[in-house]
Chain A
């Protein structure tokens, strides 16, 4: 089964703690993305990567960090510097081509700070 797997589905974090969200894809896509979704806000881009060992900040990168050591994996760390981390986090991937193509999304991780 090809697709994007995000884990865990639900995550609880205490204030002041870092937490890492997992995203794995077996679609052989070069590009991967992290979005944050809040009610009424749409999806906002946190980070994206178009190739291994390279990534760029999106619109709301502050308080987050990523790595791209393998093509299949793009983990997101929510650090204690993120002031309001409670949200639904979505990972996506796409092929990289001269014309933009479909982005495939995972099922999301709901992070709650307690």
Chain B
């Protein structure tokens, strides 16, 4: 079964707006939570990642918010740009097992 649940499935945001994608997990053994960005026909690339000892991590326009008690984490894209249009995947993994458990993905479209 899907160990990481991601929503929404698709998202349309105007240029300059904030894009928010949410993920939830059940396995409390997870200790690494990355977000990957994928463009059509390409492999995913790491965007930003967080560990559960911090509640927020920011890199440029991208921020991960992490709520350990709720077992939820989210990606915020500030000042969204048309070049951000892509599919975004959240993921999680356990210590010592690098294999990632992925959410089903969110297709983001940023309109001009």
A and B interact physically = yes
Chain A interface (Cβ < 8 Å from any Cβ of B): 4, 31, 33, 35, 40-45, 48, 50, 58, 90, 92, 94, 96, 98-108
Given contacts A90-B43, A102-B46, contact A42 B32 (CB under 8 A): no
Contacts of A100 in B (CB 8 A): 31-32, 93-95, 97-98
Give A4 to B104 CA distance when docked, in angstroms: 23
Contacts of B49 in A (CB 8 A): 102
Pairs across A and B, CB under 8 Å, 27 listed: A33-B98, A33-B99, A33-B100, A40-B105, A42-B89, A42-B102, A42-B103, A43-B102, A44-B102, A45-B99, A45-B101, A90-B44, A92-B43, A100-B31, A100-B32, A100-B93, A100-B97, A102-B34, A102-B46, A102-B49, A103-B34, A103-B98, A104-B46, A105-B36, A107-B41, A107-B42, A108-B41
Q: Interface residues, chain B, CB within 8 Å of chain A?
A: 2, 6, 9, 31-32, 34, 36, 41-46, 49, 51, 89, 93-105
> A96–B32 Cα gap in the complex (Å)?
14
**In the docked arrangement, what's the CA distance between A105 and B102, Å?**
14
A54 to B97 CA separation, bound complex (whole angstroms): 14
Contact A98 to B104, CB < 8 A, known contacts A43-B44, A90-B44: no
Q: Please name all residues of chain A whose beta carbon is closer than 8 Å to the beta carbon of B95 when the two chains form the complex.
A: 98-100
**Which chain B positions have C-beta within 8 A of A107?**
41-43
Question: What's the dominant secondary structure at chain B's contact region?
Answer: strand
Query: If the complex has contacts A40-B105, A42-B102, A58-B99, are A106 and B43 also in contact, measured as CB distance less than 8 A?
Result: yes
**Are A108 and B32 closer than 8 Å at their CB atoms?**
no
State A102–B105 Cα separation when bound (angstroms). 18
Q: Apart from A94-B98, A100-B95, what 16 extra A-B contacts exist at CB < 8 Å?
A: A31-B98, A40-B105, A42-B104, A42-B105, A43-B89, A43-B102, A45-B100, A98-B96, A99-B51, A100-B31, A100-B32, A100-B97, A103-B100, A106-B43, A108-B41, A108-B43
Residue of B34, B36, B100 with highest tally of chain A CB at under 10 A: B100
**Smallest CB gap from A93: residue in B:** B98
Closest 9 CB pairs of A and B: A105-B43, A100-B32, A42-B104, A43-B102, A42-B102, A48-B99, A102-B46, A100-B93, A94-B98
